[in-house]
Chain A
């Protein structure tokens, strides 16, 4: 009797969960399909790609990768992307955390204004300002250098980083700082030894949600960079598309290499990322 009652009561949630699973599986299939095709095609020649687009390739055939790494400027592009993304993220995290800490903790009349100023940066699409930006960078003699990208990306990324960090740091109990102050810690030491270790989840969020668009950005390198030695991956990969013929196998190999680091970074930080996204949701 009780078993019957409980099974009829739980039947509805199970069927709902089942439906949700079906939708989620279908969704992940749609999401993963282009990625899988990209990786599979990287091991095929152009001919094979068009003949058997869905066939499993011979994974020992790494000619495309060898060609991309050996015969093109791919390694240079890759290094440029690493340098530009890495430097931008470091600057965003360092400056964003410091600004967020100041906004969150030091009481001052200008605090709200400063936070609103940063928030205004969130509303403003910097791509619209590309012409004045171009003129500014030209006057600063930064055009056609990696610095042009680093300063632009840092400026774009800072508002959201300050917003995330200020919100999180404000939620930490101020008694922790008081305790550290009494224990004899200086202000920089409090930030470094007490606040930063606790702020890892929001820093992971700020890092990932800035790193992905910076790594993938095509627009600013296209506008600012002419010299091949300073090109980043998305821009560099377009040189693989010839005017008359394109080596699709090589292009997909390049894309696979380009997508790998950011995917690995995401996997590495995803635990912290999810932790940070749901922090405070459940006590």
Chain B
């Protein structure tokens, strides 16, 4: 096991800059998730850690060693790919043995390690099958088994769950997390799914356009997003944003409605500001309540455990999540009252405004 340190790492293809200086520190045994929309450079960064892509600038260290020019096989890492990349002409056992065979591990030791990994993943009855005879979830497990038998310093996962159906994804998510808690191997995991990131990570790295937007524990990112991008990306349904100006009693919306604040931001009166509020922090109030946003119910989506409302308000649609069942009808007029101490404020550049 080892810590991984990424220092001012850059990558460009020709003149196009994909990763523009990334710094991340990953502690020994940590489960770190790189998350971001497609094209943000997260998979490229993972492939650079793996050694499958050259590094255009900066340093990557695994343990105390700079690995910039070390070939993948000497980095002591194991990787699980999105397509699993199992060798189709080898059985499950042969797939798992392949790396040990290349390393010259004695045959008896190979068998032992494969058997151990297989039994821990429930693959023992499948060892003689070929990948084409397995289901998606089983293939996923073989790919993980192939990584485990090597007992590497770092596990790399590249969107390993995106080819599975929704139910299996939830199940494998728990299995991967459980595996990490058992093995305590440093893990770097790439996904575009913020729910995977929230549920599995010790630490999330939110990437966007080749830079790191914020690094932090899942709830830290949820409660105190550093900027508008992170605020909108983390959380599902996404945070509502309302444009307004800073006034003496709170945020003044274009229509004249005022949203009260229970904090005193260091702002000039009249400064343009984005008011962010999560769907679960909007409450339904009788129409005309002071300090609320007038709106019309547009869509009601009951999920059983809670109800999602999409309402039309000035400046666009807002999302509201209610824990209780709701008797509203589409077209009904309502007022939305934000929970004042849960509001997030962002300045014109989208940066979080200090609210102390």
Contact = CB atoms under 8 A, between A and B. Distances in A.
Interface stretch (B24-32, B79-87, B334-342): B79-87
Number of chain A interface residues as a range: 10 to 19
B264 interface: no
A184 B73 contact: yes
A183 interface: yes
A125 interface: no
Given A175-B81, A175-B82, A181 B87 contact: no
Given A181-B52, A182-B73, A176 B102 contact: no
Nearest to B147: A182
Contacts of A176: 85, 87
A197 interface: yes
Contacts of B78: 182
Contacts of A179: 79, 81, 85-87, 146
A2 B87 CA distance: 49
A181 B52 CA distance: 8
A189 interface: yes
Contacts of B83: 173, 175
Determine chain A's interface SS by DSSP, over half rule: helix
Most buried by B among A180, A182, A193: A182
B73 A181 contact: yes
Contacts of B73: 181-185
Interface size classification for chain B: 20 to 34
A279 interface: no
Contacts of A198: 88-89
A23 interface: no
Contact of A181 (B72, B82, B88): B72
A48 to B, nearest CB: 53
A53 B123 CA distance: 66
B99 interface: yes
Interface in B72-130: 72-73, 77-79, 81-83, 85-89, 98-99, 102-103
B50 interface: yes
A183 B77 CA distance: 9
A129 to B, nearest CB: 41
A181 B47 CA distance: 12
A267 interface: no
A178 interface: yes
Interface string B51-73: 11000000000000000000111
Contacts of A183: 73, 98-99, 102, 146, 150
Q: Which of B50, B78, B102, B103: most chain A Cβ within 10 A?
A: B102
Contacts of B85: 173, 175-176, 178-179
Contacts of B51: 181-182
A201 to B, nearest CB: 12
A184 B102 contact: yes
Nearest to A177: B85
Nearest to B50: A182
Interface in A153-181: 173, 175-176, 178-181
A173 B89 CA distance: 14
Interface in A91-144: none
A189 B103 CA distance: 13
A184 B52 contact: no
B77 A182 contact: yes
A268 interface: no
A56 interface: no
Contact of A178 (B52, B71, B99): B52
A194 B81 CA distance: 16
B33 to A, nearest CB: 20
Contacts of A194: 87
A199 to B, nearest CB: 10
Interface in A182-234: 182-185, 189, 193-194, 197-198
Interface in B279-298: none
Interface of A: 173, 175-176, 178-185, 189, 193-194, 197-198
Interface of B: 47, 50-52, 71-73, 77-79, 81-83, 85-89, 98-99, 102-103, 146, 150
23 contacts: A175-B81, A175-B82, A175-B83, A175-B85, A176-B87, A178-B47, A178-B50, A178-B79, A178-B81, A179-B79, A179-B87, A181-B51, A182-B73, A182-B78, A182-B99, A183-B146, A183-B150, A184-B99, A184-B102, A189-B102, A197-B89, A198-B88, A198-B89
Given A178-B85, A198-B89, 14 more contacts: A175-B83, A176-B85, A179-B79, A179-B85, A181-B52, A182-B50, A182-B52, A182-B72, A182-B99, A183-B98, A184-B99, A185-B73, A185-B102, A193-B98
